[in-house]
Structure formats: structure tokens, C-alpha cells
Structure 1
């Protein structure tokens, strides 16, 4: 059993917490941001801190701006592309056939020399 003289929720050396111990808080200003879903967010910043142009909405995650009448649009989500899709963007079918023929001819030469065993 614990000692009966201890005060619950305190520790040795603990004292009152307040402005005197922590120091004065910096003067702050609240800034209002709006997202495309019309959510209003009011983070606070120190008076001497630069105010960002955009802020992520904590409710929906969309970007929010200072202009309530013109919030930023939701970002476009690009669909996942495979490696083959990226290759097809860079090369035409004719270029792909030419590269394949060059690779096959090089492989056939190496097989005929005995460098590669199939």
C-alpha cells in the first residue's frame, strides 16, 4: 500500500503551474481560412510570424485559403500508372519494335559466341 501522505496526481517538486512559471505567452493573432467544402479554420499565429497563404483543413484535409469567396480547388488525384504506361508515353510502337530487335540481335550474337547459355 502506498504512503497515505502523498497527494494524488502530484510528484515531488511539483508546484503550481501558471504564467509566472512558464513565462508570458507571445501575443497572438487568429487567422481564418476556408476550404472548398466551406469549412472554417482559425489557427493562431504569433504577431511577428509570417502568415501562410494556405492551410490544410483539419476536417477534410483539403487546402484552405484566406479568401472565403474563392477557396482553392481540391487537388487532382492522378491515377496510378504502371512502368509500362510510362514507357508507352515516351516511345512509339515503332521505336519499341526497333529497340526489341536490337536487343534480340545482341542476345543472339552472344548466344552464338557462347557467352550466354539458354
Structure 2
């Protein structure tokens, strides 16, 4: 079953984190990503750029609106996404517990409803 593990945390201000802290986090995420890969459960992983790089798009009443920044102002921002293919929610929770981001943010685990791969839609509950 496919699950999206969404990392949310408060973005640090420019210069708030030391180079050592950044390097330590990068090493922790590298080890986590490699562990997911070795276990054969990782579909993809993406760490997002800060929200200042966001562009929001809406189409209301036939009018396109493009704006800089996230659509909603929130204290915590979506920072990254891990797509996992695991047997069940308990397995997804087990992997989320090991994610370094859980130490300073919140991880949202959401089952995938449908997946578009290889030119067609499939039920997200189908493994593989």
C-alpha cells in the first residue's frame, strides 16, 4: 500500500542554523533515505525548497491567478515528501518514527488513493 509521509516544520530564519547543524541533518536524512531504499519501500523522496520559492496558482471563475509564496500563511510549512510502498499503516508509522524530521517537526502519513504511473491510473492500495 502506498503512503505519503509529509514533513511539516517551522522554517528556520536565514542564518538561524549553523553549518554543523545543517550538515548533521543532511547526514541523518541521507542515512534515512538509504535505509528506506535498502528495505525496498522507497518510491521517491523530495525535500522542498523554502516557502519563499513557492508559486501558488488558482483558477477562479475562468481567471488564472499566480502569486508568489504559499497559498496559506501557516506557522509550519510542508518541507518534504517521502512516498513509501509498505504493507500497512503500522509499517508506515514505523518508518515515520525513524525519520529525522520527526525530531523537530510533524509528520503526516496519508494513504494514497490512486496513482498515475506509466500513463494510467491505478488503485493506490495495490503494492508494486
Name the TM tier (shorter chain).
under 0.3
Higher strand share: 2
What is the TM-score of this pair, normalised by structure 2? 0.17
Larger radius of gyration: 1
